[in-house]
Homo-oligomer: A and B are copies of this chain.
């Protein structure tokens, strides 16, 4: 049997903080609705795709009378995609709101992600089950999954499941794709007049589900604090041993928010931001040169150590490497059989030299052998390059090492370069949620229930003013359609929630850019230490640096 750790026992007793407006009786909380809203672009197309749910007003909770409070309703909840700290607290928020409103109401958990609602695989969440997961990390209360909920047939199955269990509300806890699917499901239910509402909750440690209304996705706070703990510890080690460069890859393929936040927390010597590499159309050589340049400058000061942060997705953001990867995918898809008949790397290379464009051939030939092998051999079931398997941190170490060796011959570098590689990802996705995430998630879940008790659908639960203490937070809901545009996916235009990349003119990046040259050459490390759940307010109740800069 599992043994509960002392911290887990203590966290069970933690009561997440709610904004002032959500404290008190649920019948005293009502919705203030604003003006009709618009999608960020492609309004006409989206209006026709979401004929029943497009353009709804923003909802803000205020003190007032909610005559529907107290109705018995059953809600089903889905955890979708990768784990993020706080998912259990979203469920706890829904559960507590629902039961407080009417103890007869039931909360069902769909098992294993969206597959649960499609396959009628669910469990009733009761007090005992809920209490075993309050304020804990992970998605293990009901499991998660990566199935997509997007076809008509899947919607029909979902409808059947809901009808069977008298479920009139579905909460989808997920990232941008899952919330997009949630919007489509809401529209489907509305078009069928099924009487089932759908509310989303913004989850992802990557921080890329963010916009004017969603200040941050949950899990980003805890994950980045966990990574920053480790980065700070490694910085301390680097500064004590004074002989290693640590290259640390951080999870998150589509955006560099994690790297940027960790850089603001730990002040490393180098932090590459993929979006900047792409905007400046940098080549792989330029990225390598830039890293080597910092190492050389520090070596000139006798500092043969340092810490470099590398976003997991970097390689795809380097335009020439991105082009190489899509050429490789293309060529190998079209000549799969012939290619797989070539057994040695040398034969494969020779063939590729004839097939690839001159530019891509040149880029490929400049890569270290181990990376070439990864590109050619380690392919997914569709024959595509598995970008997430590419060890970008080792690629950079090897290429920077070669560059420095060459500079040494040219007497342009007389330091030493010993590098160690790390990859942090799984370490942070399931940490006990920080007080911030515990409170934020509980509020998101509680708000999702309040939105449902007002029969709103196609909304995402949201909380504003997150930089302030929790009792001053402003909870409510935003229609999902207002965050959408049309984008090409798998060859056709689809309505999707726009992903938030790091904005180079945004406050967090600017704060980083203003200081990074100093951090590069000097040793300006900051050591955040482990997440604290107790202790002084400034130690255990702070939001991320990103949020502080964005809301300053």
Binding site for B on A (CB under 8 A): 1-11, 82-83, 136-140, 143-144, 226, 229-230, 232-234, 236-237, 239-242, 246, 265, 267, 420, 422, 426-432, 518, 522-536, 538-540, 542
A537 to chain B, nearest CB (A): 9
- Whether the Cβ atoms of A431 and B233 lie closer than 8 Å is yes
- Whether the Cβ atoms of B529 and A8 lie closer than 8 Å is yes
- Whether the Cβ atoms of A239 and B140 lie closer than 8 Å is yes
A237 to B426 CA separation, bound complex (whole angstroms):
7
Nearest first, the 4 closest Cβ-Cβ pairs linking A and B are A534-B535, A236-B430, A530-B530, A138-B236
- Whether the Cβ atoms of B430 and A237 lie closer than 8 Å is yes
Given the known inter-chain contacts A2-B267, A236-B140, A534-B539, please indicate yes or no for A241 contacting B83, CB distance below 8 A: yes
- Whether the Cβ atoms of A234 and B144 lie closer than 8 Å is no
Which of A11, A136, A267, A527 has the most B CB atoms < 10 Å from its CB? Answer: A527
A226 to B265 CA separation, bound complex (whole angstroms):
19
Please give, as numbers and ranges, the residues of chain B lying within 8 Å of A529 by CB-CB distance: 5, 7-8, 11, 431-432, 533
Please give, as numbers and ranges, the residues of chain B lying within 8 Å of A533 by CB-CB distance: 529-530, 532, 535
- Whether the Cβ atoms of A422 and B426 lie closer than 8 Å is yes
Residue in chain B with minimal CB distance to A229: B530
- Whether the Cβ atoms of A536 and B6 lie closer than 8 Å is yes
- Whether the Cβ atoms of B527 and A432 lie closer than 8 Å is yes
Given the known inter-chain contacts A426-B420, A431-B233, A532-B532, please indicate yes or no for A144 contacting B240, CB distance below 8 A: yes
A430 to B241 CA separation, bound complex (whole angstroms):
10
A254 to chain B, nearest CB (A): 19
- Whether the Cβ atoms of B1 and A524 lie closer than 8 Å is yes
- Whether the Cβ atoms of A525 and B2 lie closer than 8 Å is yes
**Cβ contact of A144, chosen from B136, B226, B241, B531, cutoff 8 A:** B241
A234 to B240 CA separation, bound complex (whole angstroms):
28
- Whether the Cβ atoms of A7 and B539 lie closer than 8 Å is yes
A241 to B8 CA separation, bound complex (whole angstroms):
20
A533 to B540 CA separation, bound complex (whole angstroms):
11
- Whether the Cβ atoms of B526 and A3 lie closer than 8 Å is yes
Please give, as numbers and ranges, the residues of chain B lying within 8 Å of A5 by CB-CB distance: 232, 265, 526-529
List 16 interface pairs A-B (beta carbons < 8 Å), by A numbering: A2-B525, A7-B528, A7-B539, A10-B535, A83-B241, A137-B236, A139-B241, A143-B240, A144-B241, A233-B429, A234-B430, A237-B426, A237-B430, A432-B529, A432-B530, A534-B539
A539 to B13 CA separation, bound complex (whole angstroms):
13
Please give, as numbers and ranges, the residues of chain B lying within 8 Å of A144 by CB-CB distance: 240-241
Please give, as numbers and ranges, the residues of chain B lying within 8 Å of A522 by CB-CB distance: 1
- Whether the Cβ atoms of B430 and A233 lie closer than 8 Å is yes
A240 to B246 CA separation, bound complex (whole angstroms):
30
Please give, as numbers and ranges, the residues of chain B lying within 8 Å of A431 by CB-CB distance: 229, 233, 236, 529-530
- Whether the Cβ atoms of A138 and B426 lie closer than 8 Å is no
Q: A1-B518, A139-B240, A233-B430 are in contact. List 15 more A-B contacts (CB 8 A).
A: A1-B522, A5-B527, A5-B529, A6-B542, A7-B530, A83-B237, A144-B241, A233-B431, A234-B426, A234-B430, A432-B530, A532-B532, A533-B535, A534-B534, A534-B540
